[in-house]
Amino acid sequence: MIRRLALLFLILSHFLIFSQQGEVNLISWNIKDFGRTKNTEELNQIAEIVRHADILAIQEVVAGYGGAQAVAKLADILNRKGAKWDYVISDPTNSPKYIAERYAFIWKTHRIKIKNRGWLISELATQIDREPFLLNFYLEGKRFTIINFHSRPYNKDPESEIIVLSKFVIDSLKTPLLIAGDFNVDEKMPVFNTLKNSGYRTAISNQKTTLKWSCERTDYLNHSIDNIFYSKNIQKLEGKAIDFVRYCDELEQARKLSDHLPVFLKFSLKD
C-alpha cells in the first residue's frame, strides 16, 4: 500500500511539474514615469510584486535619460531574488513632442527564450502616437508574440488607435498573440468588438486598475483600462489585477510606485 501511494505521488508530482512547465505567468504594468523618479527602495518594492512572473511587460518607461537605467536596475534587483532575468528596451516611440516613451520586457531566461530584441511597429507610427513594441518569445520551442501598447489618454481619442491596432493584428499576425497594455478604454466598449469577434479574450473583466488620488469610503480604485488581450490559440488559466494597495492608508505610498495596478495572466499555448 505504501509503495502504491509513493508511486501515485511520483506520478502526480511529475504531472504537476510537466503542467507547470507549459504555463507562462505574464504581468503587464503601466509603471508611471518609470525612470529617475523611482529610487532603490521603490524598485525593490516593484520587484517583490512581479518576481513570480515569467514575463513582465512595462509601459511608460521614460524616453530620456533614466528610463533605460531604471529597467536595467530593476532587472538587476530581480536577478538577486533567486532567478536569472534578461530584458529589452524599445527605442523611444516616434511621437509628438513630450509624448514619446519607451516600452520594456523583462523575463526569466531559464524557460523563456528570444531570438531577436523586438521592434516598434513602424507601420503604425503615423496612426498611433506611441506605436506598440513587438517581441517574439519561445517556450519549449513554441513561439508566441506579445505586443506592448500604451494608447493616447482617454480624452484624445484612444479608440482610433485601438481600431488601427486591431486591424493590424488580425491581418498581419497569425502566431499565438497577446496584447498587453494600458488601453485607456474599458474592455467592455464596442471598439474592442473587432478583436473579440476574431476570438480574442481578456485577462480581466469588470476590474478597476487605476488609483484615485484619495480614498473614498475605502474605495481607492478608479477606471478599468489596463488589460491583456489574448488570441484563441492561447488558453487562459488565471487572470487578475494585482492589488498592491489594499488599505486606504497605503494609497499615498502606493502611488509612488504607480497609479496603475499590474494585470496578471497565467496561460498556456494550445496545441
* Residue 63 in this model has a pLDDT that exceeds 70: yes
Residues paired with residue 43 on neighbouring β-strands, in sequence order: none
* In a domain? residue 4: no
DSSP state letter for 98? T
Q: What is the pTM of this model?
A: 0.91
Percent of the chain with pLDDT over 70: 92
* Average pLDDT rounded to a whole number, residues 28-37: 95
pLDDT at position 6 is 46
Rounded CA-CA distance 239/227 in Å is 10
Cβ(75)–Cβ(93) below 8 Å: no
pLDDT at position 97 is 83
pLDDT at position 180 is 98
10: cell is: 511520483
* In a domain? residue 224: yes
* Average pLDDT rounded to a whole number, residues 149-160: 97
Range of the domain at 55: 23-269
Cβ(47)–Cβ(77) below 8 Å: yes
pLDDT at position 2 is 52
Amino acid at 264: F
* In a domain? residue 37: yes
19 — pLDDT class (breaks 50, 70, 90): very low
pLDDT at position 20 is 57
Task: Provide the domain count of the chain.
Answer: 1
* In a domain? residue 86: yes
Q: What is the DSSP string of 9-77?
A: HHHHHHHHHHHHHTEEEEEEEEEEEETTT--HHHHHHHHHHHTT-SEEEEEEEESSTTHHHHHHHHHHH
* In a domain? residue 245: yes
Strands 85-89 and 142-150, sheet pairing: unpaired
Amino acid at 220: Y
In this structure, what CATH number is given to the domain that contains residue 123? 3.60.10.10
Express each pLDDT in 91-141 by its tens digit. Answer: 999 998 889 999 999 999 999 999 999 999 999 999 999 999 999 999 999
Average pLDDT, the chain: 92
* In a domain? residue 12: no
Cβ(103)–Cβ(59) below 8 Å: yes
Instruction: Describe the crossing of helices 67-79 and 40-50 by its angle, rounded to 10 degrees.
Output: 60
* Residue 185 in this model has a pLDDT that exceeds 70: yes
Biggest distance spanned by C-alpha atoms of the chain: 72
12 — pLDDT class (breaks 50, 70, 90): very low
Reported as type and span, the H/E element at residue 40 is helix 40-50
Express each pLDDT in 186-236 by its tens digit. Answer: 999 999 999 999 999 999 999 999 999 999 888 999 999 999 999 999 999
* In a domain? residue 1: no
* Residue 18 in this model has a pLDDT that exceeds 50: no
